[in-house]
């Protein structure tokens, strides 16, 4: 099929690469000429493992190209995806200006040569499918009013569930595909588009083999409104689940229980599940915060106050502050102290800094008069460019971030940090304080290496004889 994807961000580029890898002919469109130039040169505008390899294969399969001009590819396409950003406004409401502009341009580019499906992949509030339909019509009316009756199209909602850092794996081997539409004709085109994905009939790329035992991908077919709601409900649930783990961890710390052990004990209950139960410095990223804000805004519009979702935001804010409290407990005075941050990205394997806990922690420390050094394997360039006012001293390595520092804070659980020589780090510091914000390290090993260690939900006490400490990152996988 002929496909256009509007927006070459984390979602659009990955969607375009995968669809083209399945054999569809894809054009990716963005208003950001700089991004398009990079993609044309084969350079990645974002850090996402395996994306460059998949794009190379995609070019040889269905074919993929990049442009700033929407009109020509949209006119030729059977399916047009909208994958533009939907950031929060001050009120918490989703900013739909990019979506609205894209929908109008699609209308302007349409003719009556075929039936097309306009697919909303951006995360949008309930009712946005109707809005897209209205705006496409407006686009048609404005540019060729005489054709309004003859031009036919359907609107679908196809929310995206990929996790940055694992986006290609999540897109090639998803848990489910959600398709929301009001018309069978629209759904039939979407089923045809995703047939290779649903049947898993494509050849798995050598660098990312198909998970053992994977069968056909379940397709959940719904109304437009339900599909839009599914995306918000999924993100809200995951954020609440992490918030719950953080609350239990805070209680564990007070009563002398080990949070990772508690999470292992509850996570094995099939009704609960072990993933997203890792206590830490709180969630971040471009989605959870903005999507909960947007859902709360929608609920308010309908006269409903969601106490649970409001609490999820509050718990997360407090969790970021916990790092500062732990540093104060260890060092008393933060003014004039040097704090080394390990990790800046909101999670490992991405350069995305949107709503990253590291930014909040660095900002608070700087406000309190501390000096902040930081090392991140990939996100330092983005941090320098996007947050020039943040007076962070960027380091070449974790060792440099630790050198002469009064405390180290593990903010992002990059696997390379798990392999650090803790003794060497501790020896190089002015004071060997380690706040392990993701429970990445074994507390005993850290203490034996010379660190004054504290994790999240891990009270300071000697382990029982024979007890096997559960590392948090083992539970996360």
Ligand X SMILES: NC(=O)c1ccc[n+]([C@@H]2O[C@H](COP(=O)([O-])OP(=O)(O)OC[C@H]3O[C@@H](n4cnc5c(N)ncnc54)[C@H](O)[C@@H]3O)[C@@H](O)[C@H]2O)c1
CB of 425 within 8 A of CB of 402? yes
CB nearer to ligand X: pick between 238 and 434: 238
CB of 33 within 8 A of CB of 57? no
What's the min distance (Å) between Cβ of 10 and ligand X?
4
The rounded distance, in Å, linking the Cα atoms of 475 and 202 is 31
Vertex 24 angle, CA 21 and 30, to 5°: 85
**Span near ligand X by CB under 6 A; candidates 8-16, 189-197, 263-271, 469-477:** 8-16
CB nearer to ligand X: pick between 281 and 353: 353
Q: Applying CB under 6 A, which of residues 4, 286, 298, 472 lies at the interface with ligand X?
A: 286
Pairing outcome for strands 177-181 and 153-157: antiparallel
CB of 202 within 8 A of CB of 21? yes
The rounded distance, in Å, linking the Cα atoms of 424 and 407 is 14
What's the min distance (Å) between Cβ of 265 and ligand X?
30
The rounded distance, in Å, linking the Cα atoms of 129 and 46 is 28
- How far from 177 is each of 28, 162, 193, 218, CA to CA, in Å? 21, 11, 12, 6
CB nearer to ligand X: pick between 111 and 170: 170
Check binding of 95 to ligand X (CB under 6 A): no
Task: Find the binding residues for ligand X in span 23-62 (CB under 6 A).
Answer: 29-32, 35
CB nearer to ligand X: pick between 101 and 445: 101
Check binding of 131 to ligand X (CB under 6 A): no
Check binding of 107 to ligand X (CB under 6 A): no
Q: Applying CB under 6 A, which of residues 122, 278, 298, 439 lies at the interface with ligand X?
A: 122
First to last CA, the chain: 36
The helix/strand count (H/E) of the chain reads as 19, 14
Q: Per the structure block, which two tokens stand in for 412?
A: 């992002």
To the query of whether residue 287 is one of the catalytic residues in this protein, the response is: yes
The rounded distance, in Å, linking the Cα atoms of 330 and 435 is 9
Pairing outcome for strands 219-222 and 177-181: parallel
**Length of the chain, in residues:** 477
What's the min distance (Å) between Cβ of 85 and ligand X?
4
Q: Applying CB under 6 A, which of residues 8, 246, 319, 412 lies at the interface with ligand X?
A: 8
Task: Find the binding residues for ligand X in span 71-90 (CB under 6 A).
Answer: 83-86
Task: Find the binding residues for ligand X in span 370-409 (CB under 6 A).
Answer: none
By rule CB under 6 A, what count of residues binds ligand X? Answer: 26
Check binding of 12 to ligand X (CB under 6 A): yes
**Span near ligand X by CB under 6 A; candidates 94-102, 145-153, 385-393, 467-475:** 94-102
CB of 99 within 8 A of CB of 82? yes
Check binding of 65 to ligand X (CB under 6 A): no
From the candidates 287, 383, 395, 454, give the one annotated as an active-site residue. Answer: 287
Nearest residue to ligand X, scored by beta-carbon proximity: 9
CB nearer to ligand X: pick between 294 and 319: 294
Residues identified as active-site: 287
Which residues bind to ligand X, rule: CB under 6 A? 6-12, 29-32, 35, 83-86, 98, 101-102, 122-123, 160, 162, 164, 286-287
């Amino acid at each position: 099929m002929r496909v256009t994807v509007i927006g070459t961000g984390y979602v659009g580029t990955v969607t375009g690469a995968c669809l083209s890898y399945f054999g569809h002919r894809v054009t990716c469109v963005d208003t950001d000429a700089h991004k398009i130039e990079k993609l044309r040169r084969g350079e990645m505008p974002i850090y996402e493992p395996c994306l460059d390899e998949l794009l190379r294969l995609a070019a040889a399969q269905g074919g993929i190209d990049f442009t700033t001009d929407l009109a020509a590819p949209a006119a030729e396409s059977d399916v047009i995806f909208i994958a533009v950003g939907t950031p929060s406004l001050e009120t918490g409401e989703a900013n739909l200006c990019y979506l609205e502009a894209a929908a109008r341009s699609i209308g302007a580019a349409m003719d009556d040569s075929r039936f097309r499906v306009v697919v909303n992949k951006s995360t949008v509030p309930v009712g946005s499918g109707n809005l897209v339909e209205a705006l496409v019509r407006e686009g048609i009316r404005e540019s060729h009013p005489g054709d309004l009756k003859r031009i036919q199209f359907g609107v679908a909602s196809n929310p995206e569930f990929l996790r940055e850092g694992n986006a290609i794996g999540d897109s090639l081997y998803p848990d489910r595909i959600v398709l929301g539409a009001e018309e069978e004709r629209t759904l039939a085109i979407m089923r045809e588009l995703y047939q290779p994905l649903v049947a898993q009939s494509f050849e798995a790329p050598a660098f990312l083999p198909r998970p053992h035992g994977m069968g056909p991908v379940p397709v959940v077919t719904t109304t437009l409104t339900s599909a839009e709601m599914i995306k918000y409900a999924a993100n809200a649930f995951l954020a609440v689940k992490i918030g719950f783990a953080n609350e239990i961890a805070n209680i564990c710390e007070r009563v002398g229980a080990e949070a990772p052990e508690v999470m292992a004990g509850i996570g094995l209950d099939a009704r609960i599940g072990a993933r997203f139960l890792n206590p830490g410095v709180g969630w971040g990223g471009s989605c959870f915060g903005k999507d909960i804000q947007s859902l709360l805004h929608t609920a308010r519009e309908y006269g409903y106050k969601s106490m649970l979702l409001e609490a999820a935001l509050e718990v997360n804010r407090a969790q970021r502050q916990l790092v500062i409290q732990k540093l104060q407990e260890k060092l008393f005075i933060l003014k004039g102290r040097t704090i080394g941050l390990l990790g800046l990205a909101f999670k490992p394997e991405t350069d995305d800094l949107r709503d990253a806990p590291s930014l909040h922690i660095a900002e608070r420390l700087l406000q309190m008069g501390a000096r902040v050094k930081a090392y991140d394997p990939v996100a330092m360039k983005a941090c320098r460019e996007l947050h020039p006012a943040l007076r962070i001293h960027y380091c070449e390595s974790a060792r440099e971030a630790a050198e002469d520092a009064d405390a180290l804070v593990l903010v992002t659980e990059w696997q390379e940090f798990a392999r650090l020589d803790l003794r060497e780090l501790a020896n190089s510091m002015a004071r060997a304080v380690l706040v392990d914000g993701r429970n990445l390290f074994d507390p005993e090993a850290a203490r034996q290496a010379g660190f004054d260690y504290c994790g999240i939900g891990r009270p300071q006490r000697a382990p029982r004889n024979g007890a096997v400490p559960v590392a948090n990152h083992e539970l996360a996988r």
